[in-house]
Each structure stands twice: as structure tokens, then as C-alpha cells.
Amino acid sequence: MFMWRAGNDLLATKKNLFVRKISDDSMCPICLQEEESVMHVLWYCPAANDVWAGFLKIVQKWKIQEETNLLSLWESLTKKLHKTEMEAIAAIMRSLWIRRNVFIFEQKFTSPSSVIRSAKDFLNEFQQVQTQSMGQGGNNSAMGGEKKWLPPE
């Protein structure tokens, strides 16, 4: 759900809140250098770059200003990376968004290593659920298994 919202620019960034006249400021609350858009929070912000620098080597070498929106970035990444690496990138992006929210609402700033560790924990949990799901013939154990649809009586 997070990636869908991010890809469709539906996250409550300062820029989106400013456009909707909910906020009187659109600047990034972390770096205070640029307007806070989805791409800024997840990719361009110097604080996000610190996280990416400690992550996958291919992401470290990516040109920072190469992509204009999250969907084009995602498309470019999927052409070069394996599915498991893409899952890790999604987990990092989610952790970056959580760090941003913790900074805004709790005035606590999480270190890049903590963001990466949190993403890895989330990813491990996700992969365990996926493995359990596949072990049961594709049924999702978290949902109690698949139920066959029956027409109403």
C-alpha cells in the first residue's frame, strides 16, 4: 500500500499539503533546502542519500538527479535489479518515510544505520510471511487461507 501511494504521489508530503492549503510551508523539514516531495523524501534529500550510501552498491552509484518521479525511478531500477533487491529498496523507502514521520511528530532523527536495520527487519518479516504462504499451497496464512467464492443463496 505504501509503494502504491508513493508512486501515485498520494503521501502527505509538505508539498502536497501546501498545494491543498493545509500547510503554509512546503520545505523539507529535515534538510530545509528543497520542497518536500515524495521523490525528495525517498531519493533526493541529503538525509536519504546518507541511507542509500550505506545500502546496495548499485544504488550508491545511481545518478541522484537521473529520475523525475518515483514511477520512472522504479521502472529504471526494475530493469537493473533482481526481485529481492527491489523488495529491499521498497523496504528502505518505507523506512525513510517512517523516519520522516518520526522526525516531524516526535522530533527524533534516526541514523542511516537504524533506517537500514529497520528496513531489513521489516523485509525479513515480509519474506517469512511469503515463505509460509507458499508452503501452504499459495494460501495466505495471515488471512486464514483462501476461501472459494460462492454465489449468494
Which one has a higher pLDDT value, 135 or 76? 76
User: pTM of the prediction?
Assistant: 0.82
- Joined together, the cell numbers standing for residue 117 give 536495520
Q: Residue 35: phi, psi to the nearest 5?
A: -65, 140
Partnered with residue 35 across adjacent β-strands are 27
Question: What is the model's pLDDT at position 64?
Answer: 57
- Spatial separation of the C-alpha atoms in residues 150 and 50, rounded to whole Å: 52
pLDDT at 96 over 90: yes
Question: What is the model's pLDDT at position 137?
Answer: 58
- DSSP letter at 45? S
- Spatial separation of the C-alpha atoms in residues 38 and 14, rounded to whole Å: 9
Question: What is the model's pLDDT at position 108?
Answer: 97
Q: Could you report the per-residue pLDDT of 54-79, keeping only the tens digit for each?
A: 887 767 666 655 667 899 989 988 99
Percent of the chain with pLDDT over 70: 87
In angstroms, the first-to-last Cα distance of the chain is 34
Residues in the chain: 153
Average pLDDT over the chain, rounded to whole?
A: 88
Question: What is the model's pLDDT at position 141?
Answer: 45
Report DSSP letters for 52-120, one per residue.
Answer: HHTS-HHHHTS-GGG-SSHHHHHHHHHHHS-HHHHHHHHHHHHHHHHHHHHHHHH-----HHHHHHHHH
pLDDT at 2 over 70: yes
Residue 153: pLDDT band (50, 70, 90) is confident
